[in-house]
Amino acid sequence: MTQTHDIRPVLVLGATGKVGARVAARLEALGLAVRRGSRTASVPFDWTEPATWGRVLDGASSAFVSYQPDVGFPGAAETISAFAREAVRLGTDRLVLLSGRGEPEAARSEATAIAAGGRWTVLRSSWFAQNFSEHVFVDAVRAGVIGLPVGDVPEPFVDVDDLADVAVAALTQPGHDGRTYELTGPAALTFTDVARILSDATGRTITYVQVSADEYVAGAVAAGLPRGDAEGLAGLFTSVLDGRNSHTTDDVPRVLVRPATPFADYATRMAATGVWDVSPVEARS
Ligand SMILES: NC(=O)c1ccc[n+]([C@@H]2O[C@H](COP(=O)([O-])OP(=O)(O)OC[C@H]3O[C@@H](n4cnc5c(N)ncnc54)[C@H](OP(=O)(O)O)[C@@H]3O)[C@@H](O)[C@H]2O)c1
């Protein structure tokens, strides 16, 4: 149940993305006014164009802040800090920041943003399960081979639906100001475990292979990712996926008062949508 009676819109950045789209839909389902922030929104917002920030912040009560291209990339902290200062100056004083676990640059982004003032909640997230169904890895799953420059390191993949539920709680309910949540799934899985679970869910053989950083970048660029982003992600994967984030937390169940969603449930749910289906022609090639 929402505790918010403010009729001003909630600004949702990254509103066409994996997390932002879910946050916007949930807020609207609660009857709240939502202002979508992205380059393709009716009032465009662009992280690289500070002149676009004031227009989307104007009159917004609170904001879900999802940075692009990645909160862990160099330079993110300076940009997020500048955005937070502008938000607080314009009266948008409740901000929920989507962050990443165990990433030094993401931690710097959190600290500089909090220093801007206002009421903050930080959502430090594990790897999204939905990277396998709504991101560069969807084609890898369809092709049956997931390749990453990561060894046998367990990661507690979080379901983005859980993450969006926590974001909405932080935006609409009391008790979350000043909190930093570490959002994980209920169990840590290696990428080999992930491949096995996806195989079970799809009824096809999906394997995991460890590749070099250069091989990962080449594959990601071929899949449509800009080279700079692919290189940045390869850098993050090889540094952050070293076991520092393998432990699970109980922040999702504590905030939502229900268990976090297991990766296998996500896989079964997504397999039923047909997202990983391959056509007979693809299967033969
Ligand atoms: N993937 C993970 O496992 C993971 C884990 C922890 C944290 N994170 C963090 O999650 C964030 C990404 O969230 P997501 O996966 O939901 O996003 P996403 O699915 O990659 O979607 C990107 C969103 O950002 C918008 N966008 C792209 N470039 C933009 C720009 N220059 N200015 C303004 N908006 C822009 C896009 O809309 P338009 O194209 O319309 O602009 C879209 O709405 C990153 O900060 C990342 O560090 C990710």
The pLDDT confidence band at residue 136, using thresholds 50, 70 and 90, is: confident
The pLDDT value recorded for residue 172 is 97
Residue from 66, 70, 124, 181 to probe ligand 1 pocket by mutation (most atoms less than 8 Å from CB): 66
The pLDDT value recorded for residue 1 is 47
195-219 mean pLDDT: 96
Please report the sign of the dihedral spanned by the C-alpha atoms of residue 236, residue 241, residue 245, residue 251.
positive
Residues in the chain: 285
Give the separation between CA 175 and CA 158, rounded to whole angstroms: 22
Cis amide prior to 226 (ω within 30 degrees): no
Give the separation between CA 6 and CA 127, rounded to whole angstroms: 33
Longest dimension (CA), the chain: 58
End-to-end CA distance of the chain: give it in Å, rounded: 51
pTM for the full predicted model: 0.95
The pLDDT value recorded for residue 33 is 97
166-185 mean pLDDT: 97
Which of 24, 16, 79, 20 minimizes the C-alpha distance to 52?
79
Nearest-CA residue for ligand 1 atom 33 is 46
Report pLDDT digits (tens) over 42-96: 999 999 999 999 999 999 999 999 999 999 899 999 999 999 999 999 999 899 9
> Which residues form the pocket of ligand 1, taking CB atoms under 6 Å from any ligand atom?
14-20, 38-40, 45-48, 66-68, 70-72, 98, 100, 125, 127-128, 131
Has residue 3 got a pLDDT over 60? no
Long-range contacts of 196-202 (CB under 8 A, 24+ apart): 197/263, 197/264, 197/267, 198/132, 198/141, 198/267, 198/276, 200/264, 200/267, 201/264, 201/267, 201/268, 201/270, 201/271, 201/276, 202/141, 202/267, 202/271, 202/276
Q: What is the mean pLDDT of the chain?
A: 94
265-283 mean pLDDT: 88
Residue from 23, 38, 229 to probe ligand 1 pocket by mutation (most atoms less than 8 Å from CB): 38
Nearest-CA residue for ligand 1 atom 22 is 17
The pLDDT value recorded for residue 78 is 95
The pLDDT value recorded for residue 254 is 98
Has residue 11 got a pLDDT over 90? yes
Comparing 148-152, 178-182, 192-196, 254-258, the range with the smallest average pLDDT is 148-152
The pLDDT value recorded for residue 280 is 61
**Helix-then-strand count for the chain, H and E:** 13, 8
The pLDDT value recorded for residue 283 is 57
Has residue 170 got a pLDDT over 70? yes
The pLDDT value recorded for residue 285 is 54
The pLDDT value recorded for residue 245 is 95
Atom of ligand 1 nearest to the CA of 125: 6
Comparing 156 with 278, which gets the higher pLDDT? 156
Q: How far is CA 250 from CA 12, 183, 263, in A?
A: 26, 8, 16
Token couple for 13? 């950045």
Tokens 């539920």 map to which residue?
165
Nearest-CA residue for ligand 1 atom 39 is 39
The pLDDT value recorded for residue 281 is 61
The pLDDT value recorded for residue 220 is 87
Please report the sign of the dihedral spanned by the C-alpha atoms of residue 224, residue 226, residue 231, residue 234.
negative
Give the separation between CA 121 and CA 147, rounded to whole angstroms: 34
Displacement of CA 273 from its chain's centroid (Å): 21
181-196 mean pLDDT: 98
Nearest-CA residue for ligand 1 atom 41 is 39
